[in-house]
């Protein structure tokens, strides 16, 4: 994150790989930590808010590392690093990782599919918000004829708009798969899947992202509104994720 601040101050006029390699190293350590916790529990570590948050962070970095292989998109990491750092610090709050209590009844490969696709969907939505932020930055610099926009190595705003929309679309597809898989998981007797608070919230987020994509296709001239909407939707996701997870009967039987 600190190195990203220097990239911002330089105006992204120097194409280096330090930021990418730092996130790659962090990803390796993060993956080891998740495996160690998973082996200690003998199950996928997504049973409380700390574990769900770290899984979300892991998915965000996976998505970035793949997209960052494209030279013109490497600087996504400079926008993503502050977000990742802030969420990571929040995840370390002791209240998010209480002593082990009753375990969820979910088990098996279907659980892993549900957790992985939902987390990767969050990752795609997060990187979509990052690309949208880059789009707004470039648009602002071009609008005010800043030299930084000419010398910058950031991708053109047209490409950033396409990247943001495709990331949202990929996230929506993964989100759909994850929600459908969750509907087939075993659950406590008398608990309705589609009436659970977390599921209702997930459907709301699904509708929000679908509406953003549809409106962007119908009104292609509203690129700035689309970018702002993607950023706002992800901010709302981050602010409400933990509360709905705590209220969920399925995730906290």
Note the pLDDT tens digit of each residue in 151-189. 444 556 677 788 889 889 988 998 998 888 887 777 667
Backbone dihedral angles phi then psi of residue 89, each to the nearest 5 degrees: -65, -40
- Region 221-234: mean pLDDT is 88
CA distance 46 to 116: 10
Range of the domain at 190: 2-97+106-247
pLDDT of 147 higher than 50 = no
Q: Does residue 142 fall inside a structural domain?
A: yes
Q: Does residue 253 fall inside a structural domain?
A: no
CA distance 218 to 7: 36
Give rounded-to-5 percent helix, strand, coil for the chain.
Answer: 75, 0, 25
Q: Does residue 252 fall inside a structural domain?
A: no
Q: Does residue 33 fall inside a structural domain?
A: yes
**Residue 14, Cα to own-chain centre: how many angstroms?**
27
Q: Does residue 9 fall inside a structural domain?
A: yes
Q: Does residue 182 fall inside a structural domain?
A: yes
pLDDT of 230 higher than 90 = yes
Q: Does residue 181 fall inside a structural domain?
A: yes
Q: Report how many domains make up the chain.
A: 1
Let me know how many helices (H) and strands (E) the chain has, helices first: 9, 0
37-91 pLDDT, tens per residue?
888 877 777 667 788 788 878 888 888 888 778 776 777 777 778 878 888 887 7
* Confidence at 210, pLDDT banded by 50, 70, 90: very high
Q: Does residue 119 fall inside a structural domain?
A: yes
- Nearest Cα residue to 8 out of 135, 131, 136, 137: 137
88 CB neighbour count, 10 Å cutoff: 15
- Region 190-199: mean pLDDT is 79
The reported pLDDT for the residue numbered 108 is: 53
């Amino acid at each position: 994150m600190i190195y990203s601040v220097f990239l911002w101050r330089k105006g992204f006029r120097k194409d280096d790989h330090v930021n990418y390699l730092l996130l790659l190293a962090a990803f390796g350590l993060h993956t080891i930590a998740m495996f160690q916790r998973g082996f200690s529990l003998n199950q996928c570590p997504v049973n409380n808010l700390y574990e769900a948050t770290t899984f979300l962070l892991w998915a965000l970095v996976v998505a970035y590392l793949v997209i960052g292989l494209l030279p013109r998109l490497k600087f996504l990491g400079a926008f993503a690093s502050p977000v990742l750092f802030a969420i990571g610090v929040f995840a370390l709050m002791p209240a998010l990782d209480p002593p082990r209590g009753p375990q969820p009844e979910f088990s098996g490969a279907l659980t892993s599919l549900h957790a992985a696709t939902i987390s990767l969907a969050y990752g795609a939505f997060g990187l979509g918000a990052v690309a949208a932020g880059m789009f707004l930055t470039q648009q602002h610099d071009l609008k005010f004829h800043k030299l930084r926009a000419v010398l910058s190595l950031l991708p053109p705003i047209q490409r950033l708009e396409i990247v943001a929309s495709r990331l949202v679309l990929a996230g929506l597809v993964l989100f759909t798969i994850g929600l459908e898989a969750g509907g087939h998981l075993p659950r406590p007797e008398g608990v309705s899947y589609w009436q659970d608070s977390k599921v209702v919230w997930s459907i709301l987020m699904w509708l929000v992202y679908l509406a953003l994509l549809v409106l962007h296709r119908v009104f292609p001239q509203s690129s700035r509104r689309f970018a702002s909407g993607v950023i706002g939707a992800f901010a709302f996701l981050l602010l409400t994720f933990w509360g709905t997870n705590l209220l969920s009967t399925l995730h906290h039987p």
